[in-house]
Structure 1
Amino acid sequence: MAFDGLAYTETPGDRAASLRDDPGWVDEQLGRDDTRTVPMWHDGPLLTAAGLPVTLTGRAGRAVLAVASQTALLGLDGTTAHFAADLTGVDEARALRLANAYTRADLRTLATTLPGPVMAMLAYARGLLYWNRHARFCGACGGPTESTHAGHVRMCHAPDCRRQLFPRIEPAVIALVEGPGPQPRCLLARHRGSDPDGFSVLAGFVEIGESLEGAVRREVAEEAGVAVGAVTYRGSQAWPFPAGLMVGFVAQATDETIAVDGVELLEARWFTRAEIVDRIVNGPGSGPADSIGGRLLRSWAGLDPTPECEPGRSA
């Protein structure tokens, strides 16, 4: 079984995909008093003085939508449409005034304070708005593009091109590598630029022409010099920083030899389960609270409360 409850994954059930290509319907929703608008500024949500994400309706919502450089449909809650609005085109002070907001936040700092569905909605908004802002020109001919399908497609304006652009997603793998032999051990590595005790599980982007499992084997071999055999899927996570999809695995090393590349990794070593428990309970922890990497490590250490994450059980 795979992980449940990962950050940024509880997206709205109805994304209204069949309605996005109806401009009349989209315009009608943008003008409704009950439509809910989530303003963002430079990829971060705007917060109230109580630390909650601002959501606007009625006249206030329409005022923000009128100024936004980009809007994107997030979905329907019953019959109520939710839109994201990008206020990056105005300065921060004006964005805060328009949204009647107190401050702007980095999305990842909110991961442990807001409910899962709210974090997922904000991550969805961040990813869509970021992509629209960075896809203003066609990659095939260089012509300007226009947002269509309620922010989910961009169309090249060049008459001899008219290429459709879709939101870019960059898949990456992240793996907890178990050591060979009877004693439970896992591989953690210290990346360049990390703290002296900043050990974490290994991760890397998937390359063209390889499977997810193949990417795990290649990344671990390239960076840590460790050969990997069996690779077992554990879960996936939206990771809009800026456009990732993080796919988590547990991998079985076939040899304990380590030879770090010295480029991505500065060092790597095997940790016993007792050492991992001590690191999580008394030391530097298991890594970022919003990352599937930390979940993989806590699961392996037996500290994850979810039954399917018990040590020794396959996913």
Structure 2
Amino acid sequence: MAFEGLAYTRTPHDRAASLRTDPEWVAEQLRRDDILVLPMWRDRPLLTATGQPALRSGRAGRDVVAAAGQTALLGLDGTTATFAADLSDTDEADALRLGAANGSADLRSLAATLPGPLAATLAYARGLLYWNRHSRYCGSCGAPTVSAHAGHQRLCGGSHCGRQLFPSIEPAVIVLVESPRPEPHCLLARHHGAGADGFSLLAGFVEIGESLEGTVRREVAEEAGVTIGAVSYRSSQGWPFPAGLMVGFVAQAVDETIAVDGTELLEARWFSRDEIVQRIVDGPGSGPVDSIGGWLLRSWAGLDGHDH
């Protein structure tokens, strides 16, 4: 069952997929007085003097749209359309002026302090604008692309190509591996670059032609040398940093043999449930508070409903 508390998963708007394909309808929304515009600058939300994400409406919103290198429809709230606007091509001072903002911030540093739907909307805006900004040329023929479907599609302008580009998602798995012994134990690993006690769950990208469960088994075997039996889905999380989808699993190890690869991992070992609780409550914690990895670990420890 999906966990409602996962960050970046609850965008509140109707995404209006059947309406955003009509350029006349989109143009009409951009002219409306009740338009809402969320300005972003180089993947960072702009912040007001009170530390809240800037949101512009009416004429001020249309001024942001006019200055933006790209706009993208996030969706409808009733009849009110909300757009994201990318001011990355302007300097920061102009972006702040247009957004009536005092500064900008990395979204992940804000996530724990924002209401869930707002954090999800900012993440959605970030991912969509990032994709547009990095898809300005066709990967097949090299011709410039143009935005379509209110920022949800790009079209190649090449005379002999005409390829349609859609936002790409990079799926990855993250897994809590349980020991086969009767007493609950789970596997944590320390990656290259991590601190001396920087243990975390194992994760990896899905390869072409591979199932999610297959990725779990391959990644755990390749990196930690642990053979996996049963694999159970737990939940998923959009991760637009820049374009991920993290899919969470719990897996059962066949035995406790560990043989780390020495490339991705420095070490891995089994932790008891009491040790995990101790790490979360008084130690290094369960990892980033906005990540599905932290939620998987807190859930397994029986602490998913608490702030730690």
- Superposed pair shares fold, TM > 0.5: yes
- The number of residues matched between the two structures is 306
How far apart in 1 are the matches of 2:4 and 2:66? Answer: 38
How far apart in 1 are the matches of 2:300 and 2:21? Answer: 45
SS of residue paired to 1:214: helix
SS of residue paired to 1:111: helix
Structure 2 runs not aligned, ≥5 long: none
Check whether the contact 1:37–1:82 (CA below 8 A) recurs between aligned residues: yes
Per-residue deviation, 1:4: 2.1
Structure 1 runs not aligned, ≥5 long: 307-315
Matches within 5 A, 1:99-138: 99-138=99-138
Per-residue deviation, 1:245: 0.3
How far apart in 1 are the matches of 2:5 and 2:159? Answer: 46
TM-score (norm 2): 0.98
How far apart in 2 are the matches of 1:303 and 1:112? Answer: 17
Q: Which residue is 2:75 aligned to? A: 75
Q: Which residue is 2:168 aligned to? A: 168
Check whether the contact 1:217–1:228 (CA below 8 A) recurs between aligned residues: yes
Check whether the contact 2:13–2:74 (CA below 8 A) recurs between aligned residues: no
Check whether the contact 1:2–1:233 (CA below 8 A) recurs between aligned residues: no
Which digits, 9 at most, give the CA deviation of each residue in 1:108-131, with x for residues without a partner?
011110000000100000000000
Q: Which residue is 2:218 aligned to? A: 218
Which residue identity lines up with residue 52 of structure 1 in the other structure? Q
Which digits, 9 at most, give the CA deviation of each residue in 1:221-249, with x for residues without a partner?
00111011111000000000110000000
The alignment-based identity, stated in percent, is: 75
Mapped pair 1:271 → 2:271: yes
Which digits, 9 at most, give the CA deviation of each residue in 1:30-69, with x for residues without a partner?
1111110000001010011111110000111111100000
Per-residue deviation, 1:27: 0.7
How far apart in 1 are the matches of 2:95 and 2:303? Answer: 42
How far apart in 2 are the matches of 1:124 and 1:37? Answer: 14
Q: Which residue is 2:44 aligned to? A: 44
Per-residue deviation, 1:13: 4.2
How far apart in 2 are the matches of 1:13 and 1:144? Answer: 31
Per-residue deviation, 1:26: 0.5
TM-score (norm 1): 0.96
Matches within 5 A, 1:1-315: 1-305=1-305
How far apart in 1 are the matches of 2:149 and 2:207? Answer: 29
How far apart in 2 are the matches of 1:156 and 1:55? Answer: 32
Which digits, 9 at most, give the CA deviation of each residue in 1:87-137, with x for residues without a partner?
000111111111110110100011110000000100000000000000011
How far apart in 2 are the matches of 1:191 and 1:102? Answer: 37
Check whether the contact 2:40–2:46 (CA below 8 A) recurs between aligned residues: yes
How far apart in 2 are the matches of 1:305 and 1:68? Answer: 41
Check whether the contact 1:43–1:130 (CA below 8 A) recurs between aligned residues: yes
How far apart in 1 are the matches of 2:128 and 2:97? Answer: 23
SS of residue paired to 1:46: strand
